[in-house]
Amino acid sequence: MVDDADLPVLAKLLRAEREAAQLTREEAAQIVKVSKTLIYAWERQGRTPSAETLEAFLNGLEVPQWRRPKYAALTQPLLNQLNWDMSPAVTPDDQLGLENNLDPACYHDDAFDLYAANQPLLARFPGLVAPAPGAEVRPNLLEWVVRDPAAKKVIRNWEERATVMANAFLVVAPGRIPERRIQQIIASCEQAPEWPEISRIRATDEHVLNQRISLWDPETQRYEDRIITAYTFKYPPRPYNVLVLQATAPHN
């Protein structure tokens, strides 16, 4: 049997999905219509399921749609490795675009490590700092949301947003972010008493599709609804993603 630390990401995720569904291997095998031995081989020996059996597993265990692209990437390793040679530095054009955005916005990677943040975002998230050039460890948006007391004050729907972020981190980061960095972030978040609960809940598609955030506006002294817009650069790709907290009404 392979040690847990040496198991591939796919094996760990398949086991986590089964356990989240509160199923034994035998019960999962009955649902997927495969042998219990095969489920064991996926989870403990790192065997990769065929496309057909993986689809049956995801459907049978009712895995939310938002989590499924991760499985496609892990079972198509050649496509998953076709990456450009990406510089960790934010390009001048990207920096200018961020600074010219009137909405709170930032660039972060799949672990929520910040590459850059504009002033509207830093003003809304007191205590969060922009990354210093050349810093070995970047400020982490998830850590701020989970651990900083200010987060619960400025985000009225804090529990919902923190749960979705924790889910996104635990599903997307493995295999794309160094394991050492993932464990550092988890260790930090574990210092918050709410972490066991928000990291345990499996976010549904409905949770993820609800992109509203109720955010405190220090100028108007009231909460306002904003829409979370997240996307990635395609050609060429970047090591960071875009996050914008978009106003629901046009700026004056």
Lowest-confidence pick of 37-41, 156-160, 192-196, 206-210:
206-210
User: Distance between CA 190 and CA 194 in Å, rounded?
Assistant: 8
- Determine which helix (DSSP H) or strand (DSSP E) holds 114, and give its type and residue range: strand 114-117
* CA nearest to 100, candidates 249, 244, 237: 244
| Report for 50-54, 153-157, 197-201, 228-232: range of highest mean pLDDT | 153-157
Burial (CB < 10 A; 0-12, 13-18, 19+), residue 195, is middle
- Residue 17 is which amino acid? E
* CA nearest to 109, candidates 15, 182, 17, 32: 182
According to DSSP H, which parts of the chain are helical? 9-20, 25-32, 36-44, 51-60, 68-75, 77-80, 92-99, 119-124, 141-147, 149-154, 158-172, 179-189, 195-200, 205-209
Summary mean pLDDT of the chain: 90
Mean pLDDT of 105-132: 95
pLDDT band at 134 (very low <50, low <70, confident <90, very high): confident
> Above pLDDT 90, what percent of the chain?
69
Residue 186 clears pLDDT 90, i.e. is over it: yes
Using alpha carbons only, give the angle 9, 13, 18 rounded to the nearest 5 degrees.
155
Instruction: Retrieve residue 217's tokens.
Output: 């506006």
Instruction: Give residue 81's pLDDT.
Output: 45
User: Distance between CA 169 and CA 175 in Å, rounded?
Assistant: 11
Q: How far apart are the first and last CA of the chain?
A: 62
Write out pLDDT tens, residues 15-54: 999 998 999 999 999 999 999 999 999 999 989 999 899 9
Residue 85 clears pLDDT 80, i.e. is over it: no
pLDDT band at 2 (very low <50, low <70, confident <90, very high): low
Instruction: Give residue 128's pLDDT.
Output: 96
